[in-house]
């Protein structure tokens, strides 16, 4: 009986370091947790922040690497590192804005922070996946943790409903994804992403097994990025979940879902893109339109931001519909960075203003904010303008790059639909600004408005929104080279394609 050697495993430290750091942090918090009272849980949150920082340092170390480890299970490339860093930033901001909320609501702090870290672990795993099994395990780890997090307000029936709805529909969609993976394995004979790409040719494109698998996986990812018509769970789950968890769902889950979606479809199923870009065209148009028009009538800010998140998934899918263009991938990566900062900031403001047990802030909670808390009002204005797509903020630049990638792929009508939708969205984003600046002050003061964790996360989000928008070049070139590494091409080649 021979022994299994490390070389047989294709062992490598570098790709697993960021992942291992986050997993170790999650387990450490889980083990320390029982000795910590729920009221003092902020210390556990700080521990989570330290973990995330360490993981970020490790992720930065992996920049510039380009290899597959563990028999092709894990990809160490700039694409993985890029997403890992952005996911870690988003998770850190989520933890920062949770510090007071968790203690104030009396939620179980140890479980909360360890589940946040487990979810972040799953997200990073999706970004670094080298085969479809890892994509699936990452997605499930993230999803299971977030299902539970959505139900953390145990006494609030809306939170229970959110968790149950998200869990049942999410489990259903995971079934689709898994079935799709099985069919693609059947059609191509391999589970690794690179061998699958190598196996795709004109004959494979006609294989009904492959097409069925593509459709199933499209449904599975569609659920996770909240694309219409798979978005039904989104408003209720977003509204009922504790607000920091909503922020995590709108940003972290979406980042990871797009990381997996783009790596599987754009980077590795690109050779058969003719088979699925038309479907994505329709889904993108529907998603933008439904998201924006439903957002128009929302009074609750969490619901409005939920529909806004659907609409933004639609804008991102415009980029995916332009798949053979290499610049589309880089533009989407850039868009996701801006989206992450802006949305996290907007949710942090909502946390600052919502009243205990109210299930999120309504528009009337924002009345006269410019007088009671001018700084917060200014920050919120900035986030709304960025979500609208006003230059020179991150939201505008992201839309500009994604739409011009779509134009270069001759998706003129889709870009027209997207532009019209952006115009519609101005109404509901601007309404928040009007309420803050033109109306009388609300009666009761907000409860958490000046807590340090929230202040830090709002300031970081403002800085991100402005910096990413004003100095797009370094971010965009990082995004482009990251996407190029997922395609397995040197960056120079992509630059020449532009």
Partner 1 sequence: MPQWLFAFLAALAIIGALGAILQRNLVHCVLGFALVLIDLGVLYMGLGAVTVGFLQIIVYVGAIMVLFLFVIWLLNIQADTGVRGGASLGLKLIGALAAAALAAELFVIFSHAPKLREVRTIAPSFGSVATLARVLFTRYLIAFETTSLLLLAAIVGAVALARRLAGQSAAVAAIPPRPGMRAPESRREVA
Can you tell me the distance from the alpha carbon of 349 to that of 455, in angstroms, rounded to the nearest whole number? 9
Strand, helix or coil at 77?
coil
- Which member of 61, 154, 278, 374 binds partner 1 (CB under 8 A)? 154
If binding is defined by CB under 8 A, does position 245 make contact with partner 1? no
- If the CB atoms of residues 70 and 400 are measured against partner 1, the closer one turns out to be 70
Q: How far is the CB of 58 from partner 1 (least distance, A)?
A: 16
- If the CB atoms of residues 153 and 388 are measured against partner 1, the closer one turns out to be 153
Could you tell me the two tokens for 152? 């953390």
Q: How far is the CB of 9 from partner 1 (least distance, A)?
A: 5
- Which member of 13, 155, 356, 440 binds partner 1 (CB under 8 A)? 155
If binding is defined by CB under 8 A, does position 87 make contact with partner 1? no
DSSP letter assigned to residue 4: P
If binding is defined by CB under 8 A, does position 70 make contact with partner 1? yes
DSSP letter assigned to residue 68: E
Count of residues near partner 1 by CB under 8 A: 41
- Interaction with partner 1 in 17-36: which residues (CB under 8 A)? 23, 26-27, 30
- If the CB atoms of residues 47 and 433 are measured against partner 1, the closer one turns out to be 47
If binding is defined by CB under 8 A, does position 249 make contact with partner 1? no
**Could you give the count of Cα atoms lying within 13 Å of 233 in the half-sphere of its Cβ?**
28
Count, residues in the chain: 498
Can you tell me the distance from the alpha carbon of 449 to that of 355, in angstroms, rounded to the nearest whole number? 11
If binding is defined by CB under 8 A, does position 194 make contact with partner 1? no
Per-residue binding letters, 375-404, with partner 1 (x by CB under 8 A):
------------------------------
Q: How far is the CB of 129 from partner 1 (least distance, A)?
A: 10
User: In 3D, which of 188, 211, 481, 458 has the Cα closest to residue 347?
Assistant: 458
Residue indicated by tokens 């299970």: 73
If binding is defined by CB under 8 A, does position 293 make contact with partner 1? no
Phi, psi (degrees; rounded to nearest 5) at 67: -155, 165
If binding is defined by CB under 8 A, does position 171 make contact with partner 1? no
Can you tell me the distance from the alpha carbon of 303 to that of 305, in angstroms, rounded to the nearest whole number? 5
Q: E strands, 117-218, where?
A: none
DSSP string for 458-476: HHHHHHHHHHHHHSHHHHH
If binding is defined by CB under 8 A, does position 138 make contact with partner 1? yes
If binding is defined by CB under 8 A, does position 163 make contact with partner 1? yes
- Interaction with partner 1 in 89-128: which residues (CB under 8 A)? 108, 111-112, 114-115, 118-119, 121-122, 125
Q: Is the peptide bond before 392 cis (omega within 30 degrees of 0)?
A: yes
Q: Is the peptide bond before 229 cis (omega within 30 degrees of 0)?
A: yes
User: In 3D, which of 61, 80, 82, 56 has the Cα closest to residue 13?
Assistant: 61
Can you tell me the distance from the alpha carbon of 470 to that of 431, in angstroms, rounded to the nearest whole number? 25
Q: How far is the CB of 142 from partner 1 (least distance, A)?
A: 9
- If the CB atoms of residues 140 and 365 are measured against partner 1, the closer one turns out to be 140
Enumerate binding residues for partner 1 (CB under 8 A).
Answer: 4, 8-10, 16, 23, 26-27, 30, 70-74, 108, 111-112, 114-115, 118-119, 121-122, 125, 131, 133-134, 137-138, 140-141, 144-145, 147-149, 151-152, 154-155, 163
């Amino acid at each position: 009986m021979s022994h299994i050697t490390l070389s047989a495993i294709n062992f490598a430290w570098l790709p697993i370091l960021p992942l291992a750091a986050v997993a170790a942090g999650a387990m450490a918090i889980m083990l320390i947790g029982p000795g910590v009272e729920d009221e003092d849980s902020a210390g556990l949150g700080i521990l989570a922040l330290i973990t995330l920082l360490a993981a970020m340092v490790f992720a930065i170390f992996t920049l510039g690497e380009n290899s597959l480890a563990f028999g092709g299970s894990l990809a160490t490339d700039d694409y993985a590192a890029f997403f890992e860093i952005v996911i870690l930033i988003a998770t850190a901001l989520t933890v920062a804005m949770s510090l007071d909320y968790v203690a104030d609501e009396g939620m179980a702090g140890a479980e909360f922070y360890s589940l946040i870290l487990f979810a972040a672990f799953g997200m990073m795993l999706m970004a670094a996946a080298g085969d479809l099994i890892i994509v699936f395990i990452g997605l499930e780890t993230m999803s299971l943790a977030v299902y539970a997090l959505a139900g953390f307000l145990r006494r609030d029936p809306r939170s229970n409903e959110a968790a149950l709805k998200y869990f049942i529909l999410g489990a259903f969609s995971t079934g689709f994804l898994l079935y799709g993976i099985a069919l693609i394995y059947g059609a191509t004979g391999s589970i690794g992403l690179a061998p699958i790409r190598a196996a795709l040719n004109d004959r494979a494109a006609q294989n009904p097994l492959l097409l069925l698998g593509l459709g199933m996986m499209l449904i599975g990812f569609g659920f996770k990025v909240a694309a219409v018509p798979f978005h039904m769970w989104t408003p209720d789950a977003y509204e009922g979940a504790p607000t920091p968890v909503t922020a995590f769902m709108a940003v972290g889950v979406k980042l990871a879902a797009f990381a997996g979606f783009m790596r599987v479809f754009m980077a590795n199923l690109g050779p058969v893109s003719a088979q699925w870009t038309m479907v994505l065209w329709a889904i993108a148009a529907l998603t933008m339109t439904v998201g924006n028009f439903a957002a128009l009538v929302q009074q609750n800010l969490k619901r409005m931001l939920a529909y806004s998140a659907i609409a933004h998934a639609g804008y991102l899918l415009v980029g995916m519909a332009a798949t053979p263009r290499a610049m589309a991938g880089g533009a989407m990566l850039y868009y996701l960075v801006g989206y992450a900062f802006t949305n996290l900031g907007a949710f942090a403001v909502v946390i600052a203003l919502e009243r205990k047990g109210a299930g999120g802030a309504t528009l009337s909670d924002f009345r006269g904010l410019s007088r009671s808390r001018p700084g917060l009002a200014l920050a919120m204005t900035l986030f709304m303008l960025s979500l609208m797509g006003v230059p020179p903020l991150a939201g505008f630049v992201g839309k500009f790059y994604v739409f011009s990638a779509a134009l270069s792929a001759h998706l003129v009508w889709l870009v027209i639909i997207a532009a019209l939708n952006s115009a519609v969205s101005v109404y509901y984003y601007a309404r928040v600004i009007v309420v803050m600046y033109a109306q009388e002050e609300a009666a009761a003061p907000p409860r958490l408005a000046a807590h340090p964790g929230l202040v830090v996360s709002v300031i970081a989000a403002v800085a991100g929104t402005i910096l990413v928008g004003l100095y797009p070049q370094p971010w965009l070139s990082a995004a482009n080279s990251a996407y190029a590494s997922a395609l397995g091409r040197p960056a120079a080649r992509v630059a020449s394609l532009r």
